[in-house]
Chains A and B, each alone.
Chain A
Amino acid sequence: MWKTILRRILIMVPEVIILSILVFLLAKAMPGDPFTGSINPKADPAQLHHLMKLNGLYDPWYQQYWHWVVHLFHGNLGQSYQYQEPVTRLIAGRATNTLWLTGFSMILTYALALPMGVFAGRHEGKLPDTVIRVYTYVTYCIPFFVILVLGIWIFGYVFGWFPTTGSISTNATTWLQTIGSRFYHILLPAILGALFGTVNIVQYLRSEVIDAKRSDYVRTARAKGVPRKDIYRHHIFRNSLLPIAAFAGYSITGLLNGSIFTETVFSYPGMGLLFVNSISYRDYTVITALVLIYGILNLLGTLLSDIILTLVDPRIRIE
C-alpha cells in the first residue's frame, strides 16, 4: 500500500514542474505591465523602461523563470506591485481566511450530504427521496453566483441575520469575540456553499446505495440471514462510500474554485478575492503565486483522493 502511495507522490514532481512553467509563461503572456497604471500618467517613458529593466522584466523568459524558481525555494515569491508587501506575507493572511471558509463549508457539505444521500437511496421512490431529489435538481439548475446573490439579499439584507461583507468585525477585541466574529462572518457563505456542494455528492451516493442494494453480495448477505439494518451498516454503506471518497479530494478543488465566487460576492478578504483583484491590477507576482498555489492544491486534491481510495479499496493496492 505504501508503495502505491509513494509512487503516486513521485508522479507529482514532474507535474508540479510543468505546472510552474505554464503558470509563469501564461502570466508573462498577459497584455500590459505592472507600472503603466500605477505611476503618474505623465511619467517619463524612459523612467518606466528603467523600472522594467531594474525588475528584470526585459530578460529572456527562461532567465526570469530561473530567478523566480530560485527565489521560490527561498520562500520568496517576490513583492506585490499593488500592495508593496511581500507576496508570501500577503497570501498567508488571505489563505487563513480562505481556509476557515472552505474548511467549514466542506464539513457542512459532508455533514448534510452523507445522511441525505444514504436516506434517499434507502427509501428510493418514496416521498423523502422525491423531496431530496427535487432539492438537488433545483439547486443544480441555479448558477452558483445567483444562489450567493439571492442568499446575501434574503438573509443578509432583507432579514439582516448575517453580515454581508468582511471576515471579522472591527470591534472584536477579546480572543473569544474574535473567534465568534470570524465564525459569524463565514456562516452564511459557508452554508450557501454547502447547499451547492451537496448536490453532486447526494446524487452519487443515492445511486450508489441503490446499486449496492441490488448487488449480488448484498443478496449473499441476505442469504446468510443478516438483518437488514446490519446489511446497511456492514455492506451497503461502506461500499457506497467508495466513489464519494474518490470524490473528496476533487471537491476541495471545487470548493476553492467556488471560493472565488463566494469571496467576491461577500467581499471576503481571502485568496479568491485577492486573485480577482490582482488580475485587474496586473499584479504578476501575486497572480503567478496564486495560480501556482491553486494548481498545487488541485494536484494535492487528486493525490488525497487517490490515497483515500488506496486506503479504502483493497482492489487498487499494489503489494
Chain B
Amino acid sequence: MEPTADFLNIKDVSTAFKINGHYYDAITHVNLQVHHDEILAIVGESGCGKTTLATTIMGLQDPSETKITGEIDFEGTNLLALNDDQYNQYRGAKIGMIFQDPLSALNPLKRIEDQISEVMTYHTTLTSDQKHQRVLDLLDQVGIVDPKRTARQFPHELSGGMRQRVIIAIAIACKPDLIIADEPTTALDVTIQAQILDVLRAIQQENHAGIILITHDLGVVAETADRVAVMYAGQIVEEGSAQQIFDTPEHPYTRSLLRSMPQRGNENDDLYVIRGNVPSLQKMPQSGDRFAPRIPWVPASAHEANPTMHQVAPGHLVRCTCYRNFAFPDQALKEGRAQ
C-alpha cells in the first residue's frame, strides 16, 4: 500500500487549561501530519505537552476546563467541530488509544473479555459469539499465551506486561486507522518493552495504520519510529525523519536531549545536563524562543523574536534561527583551544 496523503492533519492546534479562572496554553500552534503506514514519534521531557496533544486528538479533555483552537483533520472531517456523540463514532472505532499506566487504565471490577468486547459493542454489529471469538483472536495477536484463561481473568490477576497487551488489544479491536500510543512502555521492564514494541509494529504493518508514539525514551524512538517530532514547552521545535533527527539534529533542544543520553564508548564522561526546568504553564513566556533561558550562553540576537519553523532539508523542520551557530559551551572551549 502506498503511503497515502496525510489522513491526519493537525493544523495550528492550541489547547489551554483553565487554572484559577485563566486559560494557559499547554500546547501552542501545533502543526503535524501523520500518514498511513508510519510510526510518528513525539518526544520531549515531562510536561512538554505530549499527552495533552494525544488527549486533544482523542477529544478526551473536559470542555468546561479547556479551550481548544485550530483544526484536526481526520480523513476529511474536522474532529474539533464534532459533538460528543459524533466523536464517539471515531473514538475506539477509527482512532484507538493505548494508555500509559496499564493497571489503572483497566476497570478493576470487570473481566478482561468484557473490557475488550465493550469497544466492539459500540462500533460493530458482531454477535456475542463472534465477539468472544474476536477477543480470543486479539489476545492471541498481542501475544497472550493462553487467551481463553486470560479472557476470564480480572486485571489484578495479570502482570504489567499482560495488562499492557490487553490495553493494546482494546485499542486495535476495531482495526483503527490511527493508533495513539501514550508512553506504552514506560511502566514496563526492558525485555517486555521490546516485545510490546514488536507487537505495535506488527499491528501497524497488518492494519496499515498510522501510529503516533509518544515517549520520552529516545531508545524506543530509535528502534521504532519512521518520523520524529520533538516537543518543548508545548511547541514542536524540530521535525524530521528518524534518520535526520538522530544523525543531523539541529535544534539546541534536540541536540541537548541526544547529548544527555548515555553513549557506548564514552562511559567515563559525565552526562550532559540541560540547565533549568520546563517553565510551568502560568510562567510560560508568550514570545521569543522558549528554550532560550536554558541555553543562556547563546546571545539574544541569535534568537528570533517570534520563532518560526525553518526547513533545513526536505521534511526536516527546525524552530528558531538559534540553531545556526549553536555549540555547547565545553565544545566551544575545546574548538577554541584546537584553533
Q: Chain A: residues with CB nearer than 8 A to chain B? A: 215-217, 219-228, 234-235, 238-239, 242, 312-315
Kindly state the separation between the CA atoms of A222 and B123 in the bound complex, as whole angstroms.
13
Contact B99 A224 (CB under 8 A): no
Contacts of B104 in A (CB 8 A): 215-217
Q: Which residues of A contact B118 (CB under 8 A)?
A: 221, 224, 226, 234
Say if the beta carbon of B330 comes within 8 Å of chain A: no
Please indicate the chain A residues that have their CB under 8 angstroms from the CB of B91 in the complex: 222-225
- The answer to whether B167 has its CB under 8 Å from any CB of chain A is yes
Q: B90 contacts the other chain (Cβ, under 8 Å)?
A: yes
A sample of 20 more A-B contacts (CB under 8 A), given A219-B99, A224-B170, A225-B122, is A216-B101, A216-B104, A216-B105, A217-B105, A220-B105, A220-B106, A220-B170, A222-B60, A223-B91, A223-B92, A224-B91, A225-B88, A225-B89, A225-B119, A225-B123, A227-B84, A227-B122, A234-B118, A238-B109, A313-B108
Residue contact B88 to A227, C-beta cutoff 8 Å? yes
Check A227 against B85 for contact (C-beta < 8 Å): yes
- Chain B positions 26-60 with a Cβ under 8 Å from a chain A Cβ: 58, 60
Partner of B97, one of A223, A239, A242: A223
A259 and B115 CA atoms in complex are apart in Å by 44
Q: How far is the CA of A220 from the CA of B167 in the complex (A)?
A: 9
Chain A's interface: helix, strand, loop or mixed, by majority?
A: helix
Q: Chain A: which residue is nearest B122 at the CB level?
A: A225
Q: Please, which residues of chain A bring their CB within 8 A of the CB of B156?
A: 314-315
Q: Does any Cβ of A come within 8 Å of B107's Cβ?
A: yes
Q: Complex Cα distance A219/B92, Å?
A: 12
Task: Give the size of the chain B interface in residues (CB under 8 angstroms).
Answer: 31
> Interface of chain B, helix or strand or loop or mixed?
mixed
B213 contacts A by Cβ under 8 Å: no
- Does A224 lie within 8 Å of B122, measured CB to CB? yes
A312 partner residues in chain B, CB cutoff 8 A: 109
A216/B109 contact (C-beta < 8 A), A222-B60, A223-B60, A225-B119 known: no
Q: Taking the nearest CB of chain B, how far is it from the CB of A302, in angstroms?
A: 22
CB-CB under 8 A for A216 and B119, given A224-B92, A227-B88: no
List 18 A-B residue pairs with CB atoms under 8 Å apart, sorted by A's residue number. A217-B105, A217-B106, A219-B99, A220-B105, A220-B107, A220-B170, A223-B92, A223-B97, A224-B118, A225-B91, A225-B119, A225-B122, A225-B123, A226-B122, A227-B88, A238-B109, A239-B109, A314-B154
* B93 adjacent to chain A (CB < 8 Å): yes
Distance (whole angstroms) from the CB of B116 to the closest CB of chain A:
10
Question: With a CB–CB cut-off of 8 A, which chain A residues contact B101?
Answer: 216
Nearest CB in chain B: distance from A127 CB, A: 15
Chain B residues, CB < 8 A from A315 = 108, 154, 156
Interface string of B130-169 (1 = CB under 8 A from A): 0000000000000000000000001010000000000100
B93 CB contacts on chain A under 8 angstroms: 225
Closest to A215 in B: B104
CA distance A225 to B167 in the complex (A): 15
Residues of chain A lying within 8 A (CB to CB) of residue B92: 223-226
Tell whether, in the assembled complex, residue B109 and residue A313 are in contact, meaning their CB atoms are under 8 Å apart.
yes
A215 to B101, CA, bound (A): 11
Residues of A within 8 A of B170 (CB): 220, 224
Give the residues in chain B near A223, CB-CB below 8 Å: 58, 60, 91-92, 96-97, 99, 171
- Could you tell me if A225 and B109 are in contact, using CB atoms closer than 8 angstroms? no
Please give the distance in Å from A311's CB to the nearest CB on chain B: 11
Q: How far is the CA of A223 from the CA of B96 in the complex (A)?
A: 7
The 10 closest A-B pairs by CB, nearest first: A225-B92, A225-B91, A216-B104, A224-B92, A224-B119, A225-B88, A217-B107, A223-B97, A314-B154, A216-B105
Known: A223-B60, A225-B93, A228-B84. A217 touches B123 (CB 8 A): no
